[in-house]
Amino acid sequence: MLLKIPQLLTKAQVASCKQVLLDADWADGNITAGYQSAQAKHNLQLPENSPAARQLGDLVLQALAQNKLFMSAALPLKIFPPLFNCYQGGQSFGVHVDNAIRQVPGTPVKVRTDLSMTLFFSEPEEYEGGELVIEDTYGAHSVKLAAGDMVLYPSTSLHKVTPVTRGRRLASFFWLQSMVASDEKRSLLFDMDMAIQSLRQQLADSREIVQLTGVYHNLLRQWAQT
């Protein structure tokens, strides 16, 4: 499932974050790349333990916790601390797949990467190129969202970032382990949850809606890993 999460951050939050990013000290993006990714990765990245990365990461995690669309789609169990990158001057990231397991630096915590996320801080008109291209069984999907919007997609997908030929592309990228490992089962639960919410807006809480809600939670109870 590939899903856009609109306006995860407000325009005021985006502006504040961009200023922090522009003032930050950047490092080579390969500091967090695996062997395969390092061959294709050409960008800048905030060091994971930098004050700027921690400050902005906390803000992003707070916004995620309050976003009902994200919570319904992702069913998060563990979220890897957000990372931040910059593409400019022709930088790009060739086709790759994300590592299956990420260890949170300085801790014994390991996160299975079920879902990948990219949160945009630059407006599309501020740079040329820089599309996130995600491949699935239906083909390649090009993603270039408004600042403050986020895309959520399976970490099993091959994907790339095309060269940024003008301007600067600022974004956050990170991963999560879902309570439901199967993308197919997560999609079914998400569709059911959206349908139940839509019915509730149109109709009073009927016995049938309560029964459907029960089916949703009983499926989640069977499939969830905690």
Taking the C-alpha atoms of residue 226 and residue 217, their distance in angstroms, rounded to an integer, is 15
122: helix, coil or strand? coil
- Strand pairing of 41-42 and 3-5? unpaired
Q: Where is the binding site for Fe cation, in residues? A: 96, 98, 159
Q: Where is the binding site for 2-oxoglutarate, in residues? A: 169
Token pair, residue 203, equals 């109709």
The phi and psi torsions of 8 (rounded to 5 degrees) equal: -60, -40
In terms of Cα–Cα distance, which of 18, 17, 43 is closest to 30? 43
Within 13 Å, how many C-alpha atoms sit on residue 137's CB side?
Answer: 2
* Contact criterion met (CB below 8 Å) for 186 and 1: yes
Q: Where is the binding site, in residues? A: 96, 98, 159, 169
